[in-house]
Amino acid sequence: MSQLGQLMVGIAGQQLTEEESRLLQHPQIAGVILFSRNYRDPEQLRALNQSIHALRDPALLIAVDQEGGRVQRFRDGFTRLPPMAELGRLYDADPAAARDQAFALGWLMAAELRAVGVDFSFAPVVDLDRGVSVVIGDRGFHALPDAVTELAGRWIDGMHEAGMAATAKHFPGHGSVATDSHLELPVDTRPEPSLRGSDLLPFESLIHQQRIDAIMTAHVAYPKADNQPASFSSYWIGTVLRDDLGFDGVVVADDLDMEGAAALGDRAGRARVALEAGNDLLLLCNSLDARESVLAAMPAEPDPAASARLARMQRPFSAMTLQQVRQDPRGRVALQACSELLSHD
């Protein structure tokens, strides 16, 4: 196979089954997203990732949500990372120190994952932390767009130095609605100019700074701009993200399993609409029995432009081990930053 597909799927356990090894050969598979159920310890994780990468050429992508705080899938054996809001609190007192620590933590998160064979984490969250959203909350850096841009930008710089592509989420902004899109569809009733003057600003700035490699769209509806939720909207993806903002990286639809996507039909129907809207990559995280039906609903072959963009998410692996990461001067700085920030968590 000469290109990656457009569906990233979850797997059941801590090693591949024969059925999963066969499924991952499908031309529309892009890779695997890992969760706590797939993790025992770093050695097991490294072996699992090696088995996934060995299945195809080019190798499948392996991703995880390793943001820090309450969203950190791998814990024992990895450094505990603080929630990003702790960097925001530090920023209010000492902006320079917060920027330095954001870089250090982005590097540490990425370097640890790269040491065990993970290609990238779906991070950072650049939603504004307005104290409204249940699901975003302290996952966001700050309430002010400029502060989010600065802190997320330095976090991304650290990721890039460690050899990892960055994914900003959740476009065009999930932080100003209370509803959790895992449970139901949130609706943001603000007019589009209000969104563009606030929640969109970190995305716009980071795109223009050429820092973002991928953007994850939100299962949130903005009816004064478009009737479809953003993850299924050709307006938000094509007109705003691609045309207005000039983004040429990977566009990722949030998990098709989430209830925020339920209005689009069954998972196969959601996949069709998400691809038609312009997403390059779809996620199917937990409905393992739906993987075959979703693949059957997709085109037989992936879109070549999407495959080319996805290929840029895979970087050469570092030769560092986890121990070497923590002994590196950058690792020691990051561990000290973690200790200081977690003492206030």
Q: What are the residue numbers of the active site? A: 182, 254
Q: Which two three-digit tokens encode residue 239?
A: 């007109």
**Cα angle for residues 122, 128, 130 (degrees, 5° grid):** 135
Cβ proximity of 34 and 308 under 8 Å: no
Distance between the two ends of the chain, CA-based, in angstroms?
47
Name every residue whose Cβ is closer than 8 Å to that of residue 32 and which is 6 or more positions away in sequence: 8, 9, 10, 11, 24, 52, 60, 61, 62, 63
Neighbours of 327 (CB within 10 A): 12
The CA distances from residue 132 to 65, 92, 177, 216, in Å, are 22, 20, 6, 20
Please list, residue by residue across 88-111, b when 16 or more beta carbons sit within 10 angstroms of its beta carbon and e when fewer do: bbbbeeeeeebbbbbbbbbbbbbb
- For residue 262, the one-letter residue type is A
